[in-house]
Amino acid sequence: MTSLLIHGGTIVRPTGDERADLLIDEGTIREVNVRTTGPRKLLAADQTIEANGQLLFPGFIDAHVHFREPGMEQKGTMESESQSAVAGGVTVVCDMPNTNPPTVSIAALKEKVRIAESIFACDIRFFFGVTQREHLQELQRLCSDVSLAPLRARCCGVKLYLDHSTGNQKVDQDIVHDIFHTCAELQLPIVAHCEDPVLNARAAKLNARDDIATHSVIRAPESEQRAITTAVEIAKETGAHLHVAHLSTKRGVELIAQAKSDGLSVTCEVAPHHLFLSTEDYEELGSFAKMNPPLRTPDHCEALWHGIENGTIDCVASDHAPHTLEEKQVSPSLKAPSGVPGVETMIPLLLTVAAGRWPHPQHRAFAPKLLYTDIRRLCFDNPNRIFSLGLNMIEQGSPANLVLVNPEEEWELQGSHLHSKCGWTPYEGWKVTGKATVVGRW
């Protein structure tokens, strides 16, 4: 393995920027030579990257992906979707349990870990799914049997679907309290898909239309709000850590802010599609804008950006959910499966906002403020802490998990050039500013 010198880049740290030269050897950071005004230590290596004007981040984390393996390999595999992640500057992902078989048993988790072990591009962690009581028993065994410690180390938490979505993983309502109690005891975070099954079913019954915009009506904002209220109440009662997945509504942001100010152990994430797309995009995108929770009106997008600015929102995570073109192109479009790919486009879209530009070619609601340190907080420091991923900072002796960003490079998002097996993106033709390249891992 050759040694590598990254010369003159700027490390983006939570405390501010730091210009430094980095020497990497055997996949480890050997030296971090901070540039001060005094004489500089000269470092030499087999290969040098001139990184003047470029930014260095730890490899980004995407804490919410659906990599589809096993069982849905026509949509994506761990290998194909890992390539997509890395091409977008993401080196660590947390994969959801709605595969086939679902990750609701030790055997299913073992099989996923076995596949992931042959994938070097990306570090894949797994959420455990619980829909029935026996899955909870499996989870308890996973956490108590010492011989299962290596498997437990790959499990980053429990995923709870409060209503149906792709994969029919809706939890049995009778065991929701027990799941929270058990996770509090085991100190595992619960990631909750917050939509209310009763409100959703009622709205679906009342709506006879089949145009795609109906999707946002039959899974209305009130449904998310009610589910979050219920989940926060149970988190309060049990002391479990609740992480609300893909927050999409204004009231949802307010509820999380309230829970935080009440001192509860509650965090949340938002997905790029809820930040950059709205119900105004249905006309152009049709079923390629269908996901759960659905797109909202632009005032909700604005509230999510404010939630990022004021720190209520802890993470941005893509909810990368590839489906094939054929699956998406059914008629009527409302019958298409829910979900959009996003692991490769998340960081470029955020970098574009940090560069002071708005990537959507048509709609511009307002100008959000985002700093490069915010991207680091949202896509590294916070998910690393919330899911106890144990990833290192950029420091001497750490594994070289690094992303180099050229903040000025302008390029265009094109589904056919992206790496996900699905071959499409809802952001087709969007101009982005900022290119992230994974360096130093090989």
Nearest distance in Å: CB 3, Zn ion: 40
Stretch of 163-171, 221-229, 351-359, 396-404 contacting ligand DOR, by CB under 6 A: 163-171
Rg (CA), the chain: 21
Task: Tell me which of 166, 216, 287, 345 binds ligand DOR, using CB under 6 A.
Answer: 166
Nearest distance in Å: CB 412, ligand DOR: 25
Nearer to Zn ion, 93 or 394 (CB): 93
Nearer to Zn ion, 79 or 319 (CB): 319
Task: Tell me which of 80, 103, 165, 216 binds ligand DOR, using CB under 6 A.
Answer: 165
Choose from ligand DOR, Zn ion, none: what does 214 bind? Cβ within 5-8 Å by kind. Answer: none
Contact call for residues 82 and 94 (beta carbons, < 8 A): no
Nearer to Zn ion, 65 or 405 (CB): 65
Nearest distance in Å: CB 426, ligand DOR: 12
Count other Cβ atoms within 10 Å, centred on residue 1: 9
374 binds Zn ion (CB under 5 A): no
The length of the chain is: 442
Contact call for residues 194 and 245 (beta carbons, < 8 A): yes
338 binds ligand DOR (CB under 6 A): yes
Binding residues for ligand DOR, total number by CB under 6 A? 11
Residue closest to 372 by CA, chosen among 387, 388, 354: 354
Residue closest to 252 by CA, chosen among 283, 221, 279: 221
Q: Which of residues 218-277 bind Zn ion (CB under 5 A)?
A: none
Contact call for residues 343 and 411 (beta carbons, < 8 A): no
- Helix, coil or strand: residue 112: helix
Task: Tell me which of 29, 56, 66, 343 binds ligand DOR, using CB under 6 A.
Answer: 66
319 is catalytic: yes
What is the residue type of 155?
C
Nearer to ligand DOR, 29 or 242 (CB): 242
User: For the purposes of burial, counting CB atoms within 10 Å of the CB of 286, is it exposed (0-12), middle (13-18) or buried (19 or more)?
Assistant: middle
Choose from ligand DOR, Zn ion, none: what does 166 bind? Cβ within 5-8 Å by kind. Answer: ligand DOR
- Helix, coil or strand: residue 109: helix
Choose from Zn ion, ligand DOR, none: what does 336 bind? Cβ within 5-8 Å by kind. Answer: none
H-helix or E-strand containing 178? helix 176-186
Active-site pick, 163, 319, 374, 381? 319
Contact call for residues 93 and 343 (beta carbons, < 8 A): yes
- Strand locations in 307-361 (E): 315-316
H-helix or E-strand containing 133? helix 133-144
Stretch of 165-173, 200-208, 260-268, 428-436 contacting ligand DOR, by CB under 6 A: 165-173
- Helix, coil or strand: residue 351: helix
d(CA 256, CA 65): 22
Contact call for residues 390 and 338 (beta carbons, < 8 A): no
Task: Tell me which of 339, 341, 348, 415 binds ligand DOR, using CB under 6 A.
Answer: 339
CA torsion sign for 176, 180, 183, 185 is negative
Task: Tell me which of 193, 250, 296, 435 binds ligand DOR, using CB under 6 A.
Answer: 193
Q: Which of residues 5-64 bind ligand DOR (CB under 6 A)?
A: none
Q: Which of residues 303-362 bind Zn ion (CB under 5 A)?
A: 319
Cα angle 260, 234, 102 (rounded to 5 degrees) comes to: 105
131 binds ligand DOR (CB under 6 A): no
Nearest distance in Å: CB 338, ligand DOR: 4
Nearest distance in Å: CB 144, ligand DOR: 30
98 binds ligand DOR (CB under 6 A): yes
Q: Which of residues 197-236 bind ligand DOR (CB under 6 A)?
A: none
291 binds ligand DOR (CB under 6 A): yes
**Which residues, 6 or more positions from 118, have their beta carbon under 8 angstroms from its beta carbon?**
none
Contact call for residues 249 and 302 (beta carbons, < 8 A): no
Residues near Zn ion (CB under 5 A): 319
Contact residues toward ligand DOR (CB under 6 A) are: 66, 98, 165-167, 193, 291-292, 321, 338-339
Enumerate the active-site residues. 319
